[in-house]
Structure 1
Amino acid sequence: MFNKQKAIIIGGGISGKLAARVLSDFFKDVVVIERDTESLGPYPRKGARQGEHLHALLHAGQYGLEELFPGITENFYASGAVKINSTKDLAWFHHGVWKLRYDGGYTTTLQTRPHLEWHIEKYIKKIPNISIYYNHVVKNLLYDEDENRVYGVEIQNNDDTLKTQKADLIVDASGAGSISSSWLEKLGIHIPNEKVEIGLKYVSKSFQLPDNNTRDWMIKIVYPNPPIEKIGGTISKVEDNRYIVTINGYQDAIDEKEAVKNDNGFLELAKGLPKLDIYNEIKDGSPLSKTSVFRVPQIIWKRYDKAKELPNGLLVIGDTVCRIDPVFGQGMSIAILEALALQKIFRGDRDTLQRSIIRFHKKVPQIIAPIWNMVITEDFRYPGISGKKPIGLSIQQWYAKKIFLLSSQNQDIYDSFVKVMNLIQPITILMKPKILTKVLGQIMSKK
């Protein structure tokens, strides 16, 4: 089963756990270095400041997670996660119109990020050749200049003791502020990147809502209509009959000091959404948590695939490579798709370990590129957003807007959009002749 000896993973977040699961099939020993303390349940952790905000697991992510951890979806539901009909139980106000509501046969799981991560960790702990070092921080990478190879890490525990660990493979899954990019720059290896300044702020709070027999949704999204509107929000049912409300604002449109001042500050923020639906739900609700703030001033894609002479033995994954706009809920699903790609490469690769690393780094952009393009096409609807714009941006924005509006009228078009949004079909399906005809027909009807 094992044809390689040891892998060390920097970071025990979702990407790190997924990498550990995959590599446990191919390495005799897998060690995860995690700076946080061991979680005793589905609770937010210090190292994942975004954990108190709303998260989504898209269909591609949900199917992939089940493939990696058989039975985990039912375990989610058994411990309180909410199973919904993706198109029937979602009320979505998007670009000034409400999406159609119908039974498309898709299911989505609503839950908090700590709940999801806790279940993944329980699976990881059952794998005998995975060890997790909690309260440990990687301080440096061990490097052999003659071989141009990373061969281990220097780690520090919470009593400041330093020690080294050697391995055949070092995986950096520590996120956007990872050690790898700064360490490589010091080594003289430049990592090209694509960066877009979005000035995003998340403000979230949990509520207990009063009973309401007319409530016909499990999750409701009120999305801003750019460029005029910059603030949107989502209210979602999660485990323990709670509701999370997350309000997001681009270009620093949210005054976070007012929002966190008291409960009324959060209500006033909700009152400023394009629709009063969320405010009307929570104004008579009972707050269950403090108001949390998370900032994403920029999104960035570090192009490790374009870097020259990367050291052997180093593999990067997850937010270490790309932090994407979280409003679209794609981050966790991207991490899962990357883990599945890594698994496929190791299963089919009889070449050297380094060749497998190179193949993975070349595969990752194929996963990220179409998603990145979709996201920044929307982000660039706001004037003043800085960054590299995709080719044909205005045409893409025009066509996407037509699809958004038709999704309020045409079930076939919305159904195709749902597949694209959930990363189970490429965006090209929205350009099939049948959909093109509908788009053109809408234009002609207005002449």
Structure 2
Amino acid sequence: MPTEKLSSRAIVIGGGVAGKLSARVLADYFEEVMIIEKDHKQDQPQNRSGVPQGLHGHALLKSGEEILEEFFPGIIDELQDSGAVSANFSRDLAWFHHGSWKIRSHSQLMTIQQSRPFLEYHIQKRLQHISNVHSIYGAKPLRLVLDAKKTSIAGIEYQTEEGKVEEIDANLVIDASGAATFTTQWLKKNGIATPPIDEIQVNLCYASRAYEHLSPEDRDWKGLLVYPNPPHQMRGGGMYQIEANKWMVTLFGYGLDSPPKTDKEFLEHAAILDHPSFFGAIIDGKPASEVNIYRFPKMRRFRYEKMENLPNGLIVIGDALCRIDPVFAQGMSLSALEAKQLEKVLKQATKHQSLEAISKKAHQEFQRVLSIPWLIASIEDFRFPHTTGNRFFGLSFLQGYIKRVMLACSDNQIVYEKFMNVLHLKAHPATLFAPKMIKSILFKTVTPRHNLDKEKVIRS
């Protein structure tokens, strides 16, 4: 922790995962950190209106979990003590993908499973113990306040819950407001050009509900994934055990006219997935909530690092910066990785006791984090015929190779271990192209395996 603070105040717009983690980082470098949050304070784990996707399945990848523990030592144990479910990713997850089950083996990769409201609540409890972090709830940000030359941030203007308009000064503003970000509109109103945008239209929708219990049958897994096998199969689903002995069940589909909304439609969707195990797990289960719908029309990435006139002191993070297909469960972990990069640039700024070019440096670091997850999601999403966007050179080769990787994961534990590390954003995809990996993947005939009941868990 630096002995001398960079400045008197920093502001975070949005109190979701990205906002909370940003506030934790800023607390070490600013005398005061203010979180502007439009929702009310949560006194227990419950979904907020500002996070409509919170009612759906979420996963914290291992990279995100490790950063969370670094920022809040002991929080993983706290989550588990409060009901989060510990799982061995390979042993406890049954995953049917590209027509084959991935091998079930005891790996070194342990994860925790919980709902998003549960996770946010416990992060919030930890933030409340940091004396220089404060939240203004029920507040709506209205505009950015810039200096006279419109080259630097001077603060923001916001509306209180009572309707009063107030202005608060700051040398750094983090926009962590999510998909509903207003930053580009605010820049336009100040006559500032907006950043280039990368977009891939995926037309994804998903439906989720919690279950008190699944069908009364023996199972040796804590999570089940049945993914589409494009281009012919467009639907998939995932379920996993969460706190309070409940299960979160999410169904998703690409290019669907309408997601399942009723009990009957929910079961009908499950019944036509690529493997019957999913339907069998919920047909006699007991729902604990209504069916909730969420639509994700496109992946979107703002390229703020390419702007020459972005006001210094303005940083955009989390879903406000980049939204990647949520089926890949990378969102929360990417926010954590971005928070680590924010910490990196603030450490550098501390050496010079200056925030000069802080926005440019931060967004450059963020894009280094985002480039690989964006590539991975693009490779998979372009398998669906309705997906539109810029198809890059080498796409067909990568799609073919990655599919071979997926199939090799059905009976090659070493390949699956490597793939898991890439999936959890702990290793670069280049590791999948090492000579030994290429030999294992390209020169081995893989026979897809379809029967979950005959799978054996290998313990080592």
Give the distance between the partners of 1:354 and 1:71, measured in 2 at CA: 35
Name the residue aligned to 1:136: 139
Name the residue aligned to 1:126: 129
More divergent stretch after superposition (212-221 vs 398-407)? 212-221
**Corresponding residue SS for 2:443:** helix
Give the distance between the partners of 2:446 and 2:206, measured in 1 at CA: 40
Change (3 A) 1:210 1:46: closer
Name the residue aligned to 1:424: 426
Give the distance between the partners of 2:440 and 2:23, measured in 1 at CA: 46
Gap regions ≥5 residues in structure 1: none
Name the residue aligned to 1:49: 52
TM-score (norm 1): 0.96
Shift of 1:209: 1.9
Shift of 1:367: 0.3
Give the distance between the partners of 1:312 and 1:105, measured in 2 at CA: 43
Q: Is the 8 A contact 1:9 1:31 kept in 2?
A: yes
Give the distance between the partners of 1:310 and 1:238, measured in 2 at CA: 42
Shift of 1:282: 1.2
Name the residue aligned to 1:235: 239
Name the residue aligned to 1:62: 65
Shift of 1:211: 7.4
**Corresponding residue SS for 2:180:** coil
Structure 2 residue corresponding to 1:409, chosen from 408, 411, 417: 411
Name the residue aligned to 2:205: 201
Q: Which amino acid counterpart does residue 431 of structure 1 have in structure 2? A: F
Name the residue aligned to 2:180: 177
**TM alignment of 1:42-441, pairs within 5 A:** 42-146=45-149, 148-186=151-189, 187-209=191-213, 212=216, 214-252=218-256, 255-256=258-259, 259-261=260-262, 263-349=263-349, 350-351=351-352, 352-441=354-443
Q: Is the 8 A contact 2:192 2:310 kept in 1?
A: no
Shift of 1:444: 12
Q: Is the 8 A contact 2:59 2:113 kept in 1?
A: yes
Shift of 1:279: 1.4
Shift of 1:184: 1.6
More divergent stretch after superposition (209-218 vs 181-190)? 209-218
Name the residue aligned to 2:12: 9
Shift of 1:214: 2.2
Change (3 A) 1:210 1:189: closer
**Corresponding residue SS for 2:356:** helix
Q: Is the 8 A contact 1:377 1:390 kept in 2?
A: no
Q: Is the 8 A contact 2:173 2:313 kept in 1?
A: yes
Give the distance between the partners of 1:444 and 1:252, measured in 2 at CA: 31
Shift of 1:147: 5.1
Q: Which amino acid counterpart does residue 308 of structure 1 have in structure 2? A: E
Name the residue aligned to 2:34: 31
**Corresponding residue SS for 1:315:** strand
Gap regions ≥5 residues in structure 2: 448-460
Equivalences, count: 441
Q: Which amino acid counterpart does residue 122 of structure 2 have in structure 1? A: H
Change (3 A) 1:118 1:444: closer
Give the distance between the partners of 1:156 and 1:190, measured in 2 at CA: 24
Change (3 A) 1:444 1:321: closer
Shift of 1:175: 1.2
Q: Is the 8 A contact 1:195 1:301 kept in 2?
A: yes
Give the distance between the partners of 2:325 and 2:150, measured in 1 at CA: 38
Give the distance between the partners of 1:380 and 1:277, measured in 2 at CA: 27
Q: Which amino acid counterpart does residue 18 of structure 1 have in structure 2? A: L
Change (3 A) 1:95 1:279: same
Shift of 1:40: 1.5
What per-residue deviation string (whole Å, max 9, x for no partner) do you get for residues 33-63 of structure 1? 0000111111111000000100001110111
Shift of 1:213: 6.1
Q: Which amino acid counterpart does residue 40 of structure 2 have in structure 1? A: T
**Corresponding residue SS for 1:176:** helix
Give the distance between the partners of 1:14 and 1:131, measured in 2 at CA: 16
**Corresponding residue SS for 2:341:** helix
Q: Which amino acid counterpart does residue 233 of structure 1 have in structure 2? A: G
**Corresponding residue SS for 2:248:** strand
TM-score (norm 2): 0.93
Shift of 1:390: 2.5
What per-residue deviation string (whole Å, max 9, x for no partner) do you get for residues 293-339 of structure 1? 01101110000011121112211111111011000000110000010
Give the distance between the partners of 2:215 and 2:385, measured in 1 at CA: 42
More divergent stretch after superposition (385-394 vs 353-362)? 353-362
What per-residue deviation string (whole Å, max 9, x for no partner) do you get for residues 141-168 of structure 1? 1122425222111110222111111111
